[in-house]
Amino acid sequence: MRSKKRHRFAASATPWDMIDDADLTPAQALVAASHRNAYEFRHGSFEGDIAFFNGFIREVCPLCGGEDPTKFGSDRSGIQRYRCKRCNKTFTPMTNTIFEDHKLSLSDWSDFLVQLFSFESINVMTREDRRSSTTIPYWLGKVFAVLEGIQDGVVLSGRVEIDETFYPVPGAEEVSRDGKKLRGLSRNKICIAVVVGKLFLPPWKILLLCTE
């Protein structure tokens, strides 16, 4: 039996999108304009992205590990392209990074990281950024993938601070008992503990790690 597909409204949608602005009441026009302006602000252009990515020189092929690739023109957006001497494949500084085929500008990524490390909730970020309810968890997963293993071997000393937060597991992984979903601090929550000492990675450092 096929599951019923959930319909999600676009984050940019308002009830008056198919109505001419001249036919809106002053209140409707104000709310619609405010929402659209906030959406456009949070979905900025990719200006500056080209210089950022072209500043990272690829010395090793991310596809086969071949060394000393040669420059091979640019893609349609102006980002440097390389060709590997070993596998003969082309790639860019974004290949095999979380930015490959990215639809989010670096300025928006930076804003998201500031929100994330300011401990804003997923719901708040979704609402403030005018995003789909599935977008922020997807970005969060990318950040976790980038940071995987980065704290291995790190031992904090002296005075440290620890805090924790909880995120719900994906719906397909929810655990139920007697037909009821477990609540509270159960296996339906992912606990993330954060210990802070002198070692702290600011958002700009996380952004640079994403390209490595």
Dump pLDDT digits (tens) for 150-194: 778 877 777 777 888 777 777 767 777 777 777 766 677 777 777
The answer to whether 8 and 134 have CB atoms below 8 angstroms apart is: yes
User: How many Cβ atoms sit within 10 Å of the Cβ of residue 201?
Assistant: 14
Place of tokens 């036919």: 23
Query: What is the reported pLDDT for 203?
Result: 57
- Phi/psi-derived region of residue 198, left when phi > 0, alpha when psi is between -120 and 50, beta in every other case: alpha
The pair of three-digit structure tokens given for residue 60, joined into one six-digit string: 């090793």
The pair of three-digit structure tokens given for residue 79, joined into one six-digit string: 């980002």
User: What's the CA gap between 164 and 174, in Å, rounded?
Assistant: 21
3-state secondary structure of 35: helix
Q: Comparing 204 with 24, which gets the higher pLDDT?
A: 24
What residues have CB less than 8 Å from 101, skipping those under 6 apart? 94
- Give the domain ranges of the chain: 13-42, 48-96
- Phi/psi-derived region of residue 149, left when phi > 0, alpha when psi is between -120 and 50, beta in every other case: left
User: What's the CA gap between 80 and 50, in Å, rounded?
Assistant: 8
3-state secondary structure of 182: coil
The answer to whether 92 and 79 have CB atoms below 8 angstroms apart is: yes
Dump pLDDT digits (tens) for 90-122: 999 989 888 887 777 887 888 888 888 887 888
User: What's the CA gap between 53 and 47, in Å, rounded?
Assistant: 12
Query: What is the reported pLDDT for 1?
Result: 45
- How high is the mean pLDDT of the chain? 78
Is residue 73 predicted with pLDDT exceeding 90?
yes
User: What type of residue sits at position 144?
Assistant: F
Q: pTM for this one? A: 0.53
